Amino acid sequence: MTVPQTPPVQLSKRPKRADALRNYEKLVAAAHEAFTEADRSASLEDIARRAGVGIGTLYRNFPTRADLVQAVYVDEVEALSRSAGELTDLEPWEALTAWVERLVGYVATKQALADELFAVADRDPAVFAGCRAMLHGAGEPLLRRAQDEGIVRPDVTIEEVVRMVAGIAKIPTDDPADVQRVLALALDGLRYRPG
Q: Residue 105 in 3-state DSSP?
A: helix
Positive or negative torsion for Cα 162, 163, 164, 167: positive
Q: Work out the pLDDT band at 7, boundaries 50, 70, 90.
A: very low
More confident residue, 110 or 9: 110
pTM, entire model: 0.81
Highest mean pLDDT among 4-8, 61-65, 149-153: 149-153
pLDDT at 129: 86
The domain ranges of the chain are 13-63, 65-190
Reported as a single tens digit per residue, the pLDDT across 30-68 is: 998 888 765 567 889 999 999 999 999 999 999 988 889
pLDDT at 84 over 90: yes
The domain 13-63 is classified under which CATH number: 3.40.50.150, 1.10.10.10, 3.40.50.880, 1.10.10.60?
1.10.10.60
| Homologous superfamily in CATH for domain 65-190 | Tetracycline Repressor, domain 2 (1.10.357.10)
